[in-house]
Chain A
Amino acid sequence: MSPYQENTVNPRLDIDRIIDDRRSRIIVCCGSGGVGKTTTAAAIGLRAAERGRQVCVLTVDPARRLAQSMGLTSLDNTPRLVDGIDDEADGSLHAMMLDMKRTFDEVVEAHADPARAAQILANPFYQSLSSSFSGTQEYMAMEKLGQLRRSDEWDLIVVDTPPSRSALDFLDAPERLGRFLDGRLIKVLTAPMKASRPFGRVLNAGLSVMTGALTKLLGGQVLRDAQTFITAFDTMFGGFRERADATYRLLQAPGTSFLVIATPEPDALREASYFVERLDEERMPLAGLILNRVHGAGVSRLSAASSLAAAETLEAAGPHGGVAADSPAGYSLAAAALRLHAERMNLGERERRVAGSFMSAHPAVPVIEVPALPEDVHDLAGLRHVGRAFAGSQPAELDRLWSTTS
């Protein structure tokens, strides 16, 4: 029994059931930065492949050595076969790193005629939008996921989400660009070019005040670039929106499971709570929470308080204090070991408290804990080791999960 779950009612998250169910087609790993999302996604991918699935792991910005462990050396947008997996069950593992800009370029090229596409690709606003860090990465990760899913080359895709500034970024990404390009500001910016339209003239007087302010703020050249970009983008916009909507529906569909990843730290679990609530609101199929880097209790029968008290007794009495002892070294070692143990129990107690408050706020969310490892994972053996923590015992309720979300 895991240390945190003994007093809670949260069901145990059974990842093996999810990866063994052939109807599972997409697993999305989300959570705040630094909680081990990429490692978790890779470990799930490897485990699924070694249990017979044809898996593709789509990752965004992995740590160098983890990427190397899967044979990824560059951002090339092409799924690469990972060597060295156990293929006895006839599974396979591919992995790819997202090239955000290239994915965006491809979308533009697919939706605009060559001349217009060239115009868009050369625009400084497009270049900023397509290579900037926030928002676009989320949008393109979802776009790529949609592409991989449609290609039907893999029967399970595991995706780890970008380390967003906030949970909202990732879920909003597919829709955000759409809402944005439909926005009023865009209409203001493009108004001078559309002035011949019937309503354009009427609005124009008020709008010229706005564009005046914008010119002052941004400078005339910036405004002209923005206007050119938006006008060019406008024509391909319908296609964009449709794609975003399709990806969004794909995420809600049966076959998709969301896993929220956290560590037993207040910030990470606060973000996890937010994800859980948001996924629920959006009717996205949340499979459960993976609690990474949990510190095991070791000798749990000895509490921090008793341990410290015993350490103090030993230090006060000492080998010269009249208590019989075979060696003085035994005394100081025992006292130090007891202090170490107390520190560990305190840490465990804190984690238990933090995790416990998440669990009591979300008692229906299945949870699994993954013990803290001394070292970062950077080879397949390490990923396999993490994957073993996923071995399940209770049935997951995929039918229930997918019947309530679609």
Chain B
Amino acid sequence: MTARDTDWDGVRLHVVTGKGGTGKTTVAAALALALAHAGRRVLLIEAEGRQGIARLFDRPPLPYEERKIAIGPGEARDGRDPGGDVYALAIDPEGALLDYLQMFYGMRSAGVALTRLGMVDFATTIAPGLSDVLVTGKATEATRRKQAGSPTGFAYDAVVLDAPPTGRIGRFLNVSAEVSGLAKVGPIRSHADSVANVIKSPQTAVHFVCTLEEMPVQETLDGIAELRAVPGMQVGGIVINMTRPAVLSRQELKAQPDLPAMASALGAAGLYDPDSLAAALAGEISEHARYIELADRERSELEAAGQPVYELPLIAEGIDLAALHKLAAELRDQGAA
């Protein structure tokens, strides 16, 4: 254990949501890596069956099984931090149903028969709320799972859930409301209630991944408002993803560029046709200035939401394991983990 405080001490289930295209899965994976230090065990769960986690870690498609996929960073400076382990699990409603039947009723074979009969198709078609309960149920089960011999008594120190997109998150997490219309009493209902007890508790935080564009920002703010309206639900941090570096200061961006001076510098650097190059680069600067201005506006809207905000840079080369570690280090430095 490190003595360092993070913004989410006490949180054991990190739910990560975000609008499509904002890099939700990447951020969930980076967060899992960031949490996996000092010998901690972290489980990274993919809820929507896209196999995005396997691709990120360059692995073959994940089965419905918890397996180790990465080792978290050790803090090498003192040599005492051995790093941690990241396990991954791709949940599908079918596997979750079998698990549920096995765990609560010892009826795995009946479950297999139900699956063959189309039980899962039934659940996802007629009542997607039921399959959401199965998926969130698996995540909360892993969060609560005990393990003898572990320092904390828990099998995992943290669970990170790569959840459905922002537009669906309220419904996805508000399982008891979703199910109560269907089942007023009975086993599914009590299962939903126990899942809700974990989700609507201080051990769970819902983080939003966002980019500095109008629509994702609006969806994030709407999503935060939606979750705040649910008693007990804890809104987590806002992760601004894919930000571009500020190469020029705000002042330099605002100023009219001195073209002759720029051209003479470009010429001194040995570049061909410095005058037209300076004009073209000035055009790029003013375009960039416009982008920064809009991004600043969106950023202040996000900050006004009053949640901790983290920023992750755009990695132009694309995301690989090295990039994930870099993003994880950013999250650690900024106090997210």
Contact = CB atoms under 8 A, between A and B. Distances in A.
A343 interface: yes
- By secondary structure, the B interface counts as helix
A375 B245 contact: no
B126 A128 contact: yes
Contact of B270 (A128, A184, A310): A310
A298 B167 CA distance: 35
Contacts of A96: none
A346 B317 CA distance: 7
Contact of B258 (A124, A216, A333, A341): A333
A311 B277 CA distance: 14
Nearest to A349: B316
Interface stretch (B1-9, B154-162, B224-232, B281-289): B281-289
Given A219-B188, A263-B21, A350-B318, A323 B268 contact: yes
Determine the interface band of chain B, counting residues with CB < 8 A from chain A: 35 or more
B282 A337 contact: yes
Contacts of B128: 128, 132-135
Interface string A329-354: 11101111111110110110110001
A354 B214 CA distance: 25
Contact of B268 (A124, A268, A325, A343): A325
A90 interface: no
Nearest to A342: B247
A121 interface: no
B181 A333 contact: no
Contact of A324 (B52, B268, B270): B268
Interface in B224-277: 244-245, 247-248, 252, 257-258, 260-266, 268-271, 277
B64 interface: no
A398 B277 CA distance: 43
Contacts of B124: 134-135
Given A180-B121, A210-B114, A216-B105, A221 B186 contact: yes
Nearest to B319: A266
Contacts of B129: 128, 132
Contacts of A341: 281, 284
Contact of B19 (A33, A127, A213, A374): A33
Contact of A34 (B105, B168, B216): B216
B305 interface: no
A214 interface: yes
A95 to B, nearest CB: 18
Interface string A9-36: 0000000000000000000000011110
B157 to A, nearest CB: 29
Interface centre among A63, A218, A378 (most CB of B within 10 A): A218
A302 B277 contact: yes
A257 B125 CA distance: 28
Nearest to B117: A185
A277 interface: no
Contact of A226 (B49, B126, B268, B294): B126
B20 A183 contact: no
A249 interface: no
B183 A218 contact: yes
Given A299-B280, A326-B264, A310 B19 contact: no
Contacts of B19: 33-34
Contacts, number: 231
Contacts of B182: 124-125, 128, 222, 225
B269 A313 contact: yes
Contacts of A124: 181-182
A327 interface: yes
Interface in B177-201: 181-189
B113 interface: yes
Contacts of A344: 284
Interface in A108-156: 124-125, 127-129, 132-135
Contacts of A220: 186
B165 interface: yes
B107 A213 contact: yes
A127 B178 CA distance: 11
B266 A61 contact: no
A251 interface: no
Contact of B183 (A135, A221, A329): A221
B113 A217 contact: no
B127 A132 contact: yes
A339 to B, nearest CB: 5
Contacts of A336: 247-248, 252
B21 A337 contact: no
A302 B271 contact: yes
A128 B127 contact: yes
Interface string B161-176: 0001101100100000
Contact of A63 (B185, B218, B288): B218
B99 interface: no
A337 B317 contact: no
B294 A218 contact: no
Given A133-B128, A341-B284, A350-B317, A265 B21 contact: yes
Interface string A364-386: 00000000001110100000000
A184 B257 contact: no
B311 interface: no
8 contacts: A125-B182, A133-B171, A210-B110, A302-B277, A314-B268, A325-B264, A343-B244, A343-B247
Interface of A: 32-35, 61, 63-65, 124-125, 127-129, 132-135, 163, 165-166, 176-177, 180, 183-186, 188, 209-210, 213-214, 216-222, 225-226, 229, 263, 265-268, 298-299, 302, 306, 310-311, 313-314, 317, 323-327, 329-331, 333-341, 343-344, 346-347, 349-350, 354, 374-376, 378
Given A185-B122, A267-B21, A324-B268, 5 more contacts: A219-B183, A324-B264, A333-B265, A336-B247, A354-B318
A-B pairs, top 9 by smallest CB distance, nearest first, are A219-B186, A33-B20, A330-B261, A34-B21, A34-B20, A334-B265, A376-B214, A337-B281, A213-B110
